[in-house]
Amino acid sequence: MNPTTRRSVLRGALAAAATPLLAGCVTAGGGDQGPALRGQVTKDNPLGVALDAPLEVVIFKGAYGDQYALDAERAYNQRHPQAKINHQAIQKVGEALQPRFVADTPPDVVDNTGAGALDLPTLVKANQVSDLSELLDSPSLHDPSVRVRDTLLPGVVDDGTFNGRPRALNLVYTAWGVWYSRTLFAERGWSYPKTWDEMLTLCGEIKKSGIAPWTHQGKYPDYVGDLLVSMAFKAGGNDLLVAVDNLEPNAWKHEAMINAATAFAELVGRGYVMPGSEGLSHTEAQAAWSQGKAAFLPSGSWLESEQKGVTPENFQMVMMPPPQLSTSDKMPAAAVRAGGAQSFIVPEKARNRQGGMDFLRTLFAVPQARRFAELASALPSVKGATEGLRLSSGVDSVRNAVNAAGDNAFRYRFRTWYGTLKKSWDDATGELFTGRLTPQQWADRVQRAADAVARDPNITKYRR
């Protein structure tokens, strides 16, 4: 494919899958940057970074801020003192960078995170993101006898791998579950339920106390959707998880999926969800929860950092895995969805591609990962990075959940691989939680979306 045609395809794909082009932004007429800069490979410079090459770093400035990245840039400069670093902290990553990818003038390293992130499968299909094998097989900074890939927690490399090639590296080891206040539960004598029957019983007690049992981020249904499918996968086991990711016929109509959807519909039917939750943003729902208006909230392990400055002192927020649908679930009660988040990529057309990789080598070393944990109240993806740290209640609970899950930590990929399927799943889940869809109708709608993706020859398919 010639460059002009390839750019046209990329422009159209990104426009459909990510965000619209900004009016007046650079388009494909700017020309290629030329070959990426490379320097001499040495023991101290295993990735062959050109020592005087400038480095452009783009960071998503969300719940974790960007101070951790500034610290990593200083550490990078200590090893590459001639490098001038251009640091940009933004929020709408896709909107800002899409024109630059189309024009083959991308930054050197990108934190591709947030609601407006670039569509990673589209970039992979267009060969716009580098294979990170060279980085992963290089010696780690904190222990040169160990490769970078061997310093990462289980599943981190897999989370960013497409058809056998690692294309993204996730800084945060995230777990998704149910959050509550340890202080509130201790005061009321409540215990976290292990099964859904126990959950319904406890919700009845909570409602009698004058507190809504649940609230959720109604404008963003994937929060509660994550819990729903996690409970289904715990019930149906890894075979169901693989069937969903591999777009197998009728996977979404599996009994475990219907039962999980029924369980969440029952919360609504029994009045166990705080009125008005369907209209709340994530910050509004989380604020109501922090104010004690609801007992349970679905979220990932970024929640504590996102709630800094809002949550009362001694709230003691903690996360637990979603309850089992029943004691006959194929996965144990401790099983939890856990894996990488805060996704970093090195564009294939980056001028200083080697520098981009070496910046990630710096960021994913224990000293910088430890600094990230201290600043962000989050669990980094690097082994041993939190050893000896005094952790907040939220981060400590996430670490405990991940340790308790062990090999039963699971992850699914359909929402990352297939944007149109994720959108249909989000929409159907929102309808389910407002009572406008029955559990069976929810399953039918999502299955139709999955079948449409499976039939579409223009969508690249991935398999587990």
> Cα torsion at 22, 28, 31, 36 (round to 10°)?
70
Same domain, 358 and 322: no
Interatomic CA distance for residues 438 and 214, integer angstroms: 20
- Asked if residue 199 belongs to a domain, the reply is yes
Segment 344-390, tens digit of pLDDT: 999 999 999 999 999 999 999 999 999 999 898 889 999 999 988 88
Q: What is the largest CA-CA distance in the chain?
A: 70
- Asked if residue 392 belongs to a domain, the reply is no
- Asked if residue 184 belongs to a domain, the reply is yes
**In whole angstroms, how far apart are CA 197 and each of 264, 320, 409?**
12, 16, 23
Same domain, 232 and 129: no
- Asked if residue 19 belongs to a domain, the reply is no
Same domain, 286 and 428: yes
- Asked if residue 145 belongs to a domain, the reply is yes
Task: From first to last of the 464 residues of the chain, give the pLDDT tens digit.
Answer: 444 444 444 555 454 444 333 333 333 333 344 456 788 899 999 999 998 999 999 999 988 899 999 999 999 999 999 999 999 999 999 999 999 999 999 999 999 998 789 999 899 999 999 999 999 999 999 999 999 999 998 889 998 999 899 999 999 998 999 999 999 999 999 999 999 999 999 999 999 999 999 999 999 999 999 999 999 999 999 999 999 999 999 999 999 999 999 999 999 999 999 999 999 999 999 999 999 999 999 999 889 888 888 899 899 999 999 999 999 999 999 999 998 888 999 999 999 999 999 999 999 999 999 999 989 888 999 999 998 888 889 999 999 999 899 889 999 999 989 989 999 999 999 999 999 999 999 999 999 999 999 999 999 999 88
Residue 357: which domain range?
28-166+346-386
For residue 296, the cross-strand partners are 214
In this prediction the pTM is 0.79
Contacts of 42 (CB under 8 A, 6+ apart): none
Q: For the chain, what is the radius of gyration of the CA atoms? A: 22
Of 105, 157, 153, 152, nearest in space to 132 by CA: 157
- Asked if residue 359 belongs to a domain, the reply is yes
Look at the chain and report how many structural domains it folds into.
Answer: 2
Same domain, 274 and 150: no
Same domain, 372 and 438: no
- Asked if residue 40 belongs to a domain, the reply is yes
Q: Give the relative orientation of helices 419-433 and 222-236 as an angle to the nearest 10 degrees.
A: 100
Same domain, 111 and 223: no
Same domain, 309 and 435: yes
Same domain, 326 and 197: yes
Segment 215-253, tens digit of pLDDT: 999 999 999 999 999 999 999 999 999 999 999 999 999
- Asked if residue 217 belongs to a domain, the reply is yes
Same domain, 376 and 435: no
Residue 380 carries which DSSP code?
B
Same domain, 141 and 88: yes
Q: What CATH number corresponds to the domain at position 423?
A: 3.40.190.10
Same domain, 297 and 360: no
Interatomic CA distance for residues 51 and 31, integer angstroms: 25
Same domain, 44 and 116: yes
Structural contact between residues 303 and 395, judged by C-beta atoms closer than 8 angstroms: no
Q: b vs e for 310-320, b when ≥16 Cβ sit within 10 Å of the residue's Cβ?
A: ebeeebbbbbb
